[in-house]
Amino acid sequence: MQGFKSRALAVACAIVLAGGIGVNAYAAPATPAASAPATRAAPAANPFFAPSTLPFGTPDFSKIKDSDYVPAMEAGMRRQLAEVDKIANNPAPATFENTIVAMEKTGQMLTRVMNVFSLYAGADTNPTLQKISEQEAPKLAAHQDAIFLNAKLFARIQRLYDERAKLKLDPESLRLLQYDHRQFVLNGAKLSKADQATLKQYNEKISTLTTQFGNKLIAASKDNALVVDSKADLAGLTPAQIEAAANAAKARGLKGKWVITLQNTTQQPDLAELKNRKIRHELYEHSWNRANHGAGDTRAIITEIAYLRAKKAKLLGYPDFAAWKLQDQMAKTPGAVMNFLDQLVPPAKARAAVEAQARQDMIDKDQKALGQPAFKLEPWDWEYYGQQVQKARYDIDQSEVKPYFELHNVLVNGVFYAATKLYGITFKQRTDLPTWNPDVLVYEVYNTDGKPLGLFYADYFKRDNKAGGAWMSDLVHPNTLLGQAPVIYNVANFAKPAAGQPALLSMDDVITMFHEFGHALNAFFADTRYPSLSGTNEPRDWVEFPSQFNEHWATYPEVFNHYAKNYKTGAPMPKALVEKLQKSRLFNKGYDMTELLEAALLDMSWHTLPASAPKVTDVAAFGQKALADNHILVPEVPPRYRSTYFLHIWGNGYAAGYYAYMWTQMLADDAYGWFQEHGGLTRANGDRFRQMILSRGNTVELNDLYKDWRGRAPNTSDMKKDRGLETK
């Protein structure tokens, strides 16, 4: 789900933080390699030294070479430091224009290269880029410190902040001044010189370790893919899935075998269909233990990161990392987060227990019919027997559903259609612009008046050199100060079909497409002056709100009926099947919420450790105790991410922030409730939401922004109803 773009000032943050926003967002670049980065390119030949001349300033991927990155990054850092030093040493008295606005304009070259590097490092990496990521991460961390810890620069900001009441700034400008001041203070601007030196050491170490974590994790996921020797062991998978597994094996040079690749979550999609329980168990164990052994072992890295984050928080005057991190979020404090999560634990567990019993009953019934003894439900059985329960209860077979969800049709007649109905924007595919991979689709987006709004790239298929999950980010960040229009991309990891076959999606995949495009809309509709406050440069417990809100339109009848059509015949999904899907809407919601809560509470347990606590030595035991202490240790329902492969919190900026997915579910469901109360999918409703929410970025206190639009503060009523968590 996220690692959003830093503002121009702070674009120098470690590579690992320059990722994207999404369901399981990209974080760190991939595995380190023995090869050194290619030799430096001459500035004249380097495409990053000047803005792109392509439409909307989109990068010319046909001209970018691996050898361009290091010289462009390092030149970009030098340029930005020179720009910042000029501001800091300006002999004229500090003004909002010559200090705050001037900072917004710094670092444009570094932004260009980092945007593209982050894209490739997450979506299409290679050994050279993996080496660069480790080489440059500590340099970028030091570069960020050089800005935030510039005493002369902070003195100018402090002076403006102290005099802010006299400056008569417009609301957005005042918000930017307050934002800048807070960011400098949170990043150590008020520390003593000695403490600043210590902070720099912490930041460089954390940056290096975070990058190493991401590198190890991509390697661990690749190395722990399940190799299957017999086609018979794949019983239950469709011919297309079996062919994809064969192709994955061929790509690895494993002739006569099949490979099931791993996604970044604990549960794996194929567990729902594999009939062989032994193979299911093996696949689950490969997922669960992927980062616990060998070259991909992340345990030492994450314990060190947690320890250093706690030390950093203490140095900055906070009891733990979460207390420091939440200062600029909607929740504000760890206590507020825990109070929110604690409300959800009992109903989620209760619903998951009912779901578990239904699966156990199905196991008992099946085993009795086979004349075999029953066995206890385990995590690797959950999805398989869930399919059977769903089929028995609702008569739904996923193989019957998928033919109605062909990827391109879902995109054009579902995702785009909903956006057009709500906001009046339109889309036209472009095939004349270079992309980073042949699978990538490009669309120009047009505003309601027919004028170009920006570009949208879609990279949906899984590759071994792509980070797991799905995410959104930008190549050009929208703002009016620099006159930049949005260039946005979505990335996912859907199974790529065999040549000539359609890409058929699950309902979960469809929801993912709507989710990530919700982030894109947040960026496309940005109507703000300053890059730092624009688009998706928002707190984590707000930035997932537009994306989760957009998920609702995937199942809205008018939208669903427009895209849910058989890829062979074009016939709409039969009414009986639609009704079955509607009746099964809350199926597995207890599991879904419980695995998210477990992950969020695991995150908070790591990041509320005080600096005085001993360094964790047993990661598995820590995880078990954290869940038990928070009353959510459910053996049949493992956390969505185990600590060792929890990409969000160790690799892409969601530390002490994974709760945001549930916090924003509350906002999204509450907001959808407003739409239902006011006529649903209408342009009037969409335009109001665009104007009052999606276009505003972080220009207003977000609690106030929501109240102004909704007419009241959000509550969990619609969330509990929509997620099946209502208590009787």
d(CA 687, CA 525): 10
For 425-476, how does the pLDDT look when each residue is reduced to its tens digit (9 = 90+)? Answer: 999 999 999 999 999 999 999 999 999 999 999 999 998 888 878 999 999 9
Task: Specify which residues 21 forms β-bridges with.
Answer: 472
Share of the chain above pLDDT 70, in %: 94
pLDDT band with cut points at 50, 70 and 90 for residue 4: very low
d(CA 195, CA 611): 15
Three-state SS across 146-194? Answer: HHHCCHHHHHHHHHHHHCHHHHCCCHHHHHHHHHHHHHHHHCCCCCCHH
Q: What distances in angstroms separate CA 39 from CA 33, 116, 165, 310, one per listed residue?
A: 16, 19, 52, 39
Same fold, 15-218 and 403-583+661-722: yes
Report domain extents, the chain.
15-218, 224-290, 403-583+661-722
In one letter, which amino acid is 178? Answer: Q
Nearby residues of 259 by Cβ (< 8 Å), 6 or more positions away: 225, 226, 227, 228, 245, 248, 249, 252
Res 468: pLDDT: 79
Yes or no: is domain 15-218 CATH 3.40.190.80?
no
For 346-382, how does the pLDDT look when each residue is reduced to its tens digit (9 = 90+)? Answer: 999 999 999 999 999 999 999 999 999 999 999 999 9
pLDDT band with cut points at 50, 70 and 90 for residue 73: very high
Q: What distances in angstroms separate CA 244 from CA 218, 248, 440, one per listed residue?
A: 20, 6, 19
For 627-676, how does the pLDDT look when each residue is reduced to its tens digit (9 = 90+)? Answer: 999 999 999 999 999 999 999 999 888 999 999 999 999 999 999 999 99
Nearby residues of 193 by Cβ (< 8 Å), 6 or more positions away: none
d(CA 548, CA 514): 8
Question: What is the 3-state composition of the chain as percent helix, strand, coil, each rounded to the nearest 5?
Answer: 55, 5, 35
What is the DSSP code (8-state) at residue 430?
Answer: -
d(CA 339, CA 334): 9
The yes-or-no verdict on residue 243 having pLDDT over 60 is yes
Fold that domain 403-583+661-722 belongs to in CATH:
Neurolysin; domain 3 (1.10.1370)
d(CA 723, CA 726): 8
Task: Judge if pTM exceeds 0.95.
Answer: no
The yes-or-no verdict on residue 30 having pLDDT over 50 is no
Catalytic residues: 516
Res 20: pLDDT: 54
What are the structure tokens assigned to 71, written together? Answer: 């010289």
For 262-309, how does the pLDDT look when each residue is reduced to its tens digit (9 = 90+)? Answer: 988 999 999 999 999 999 999 999 999 999 999 999 999 999 999 999
- R_g (Cα) of the chain, nearest Å: 25
d(CA 599, CA 361): 28
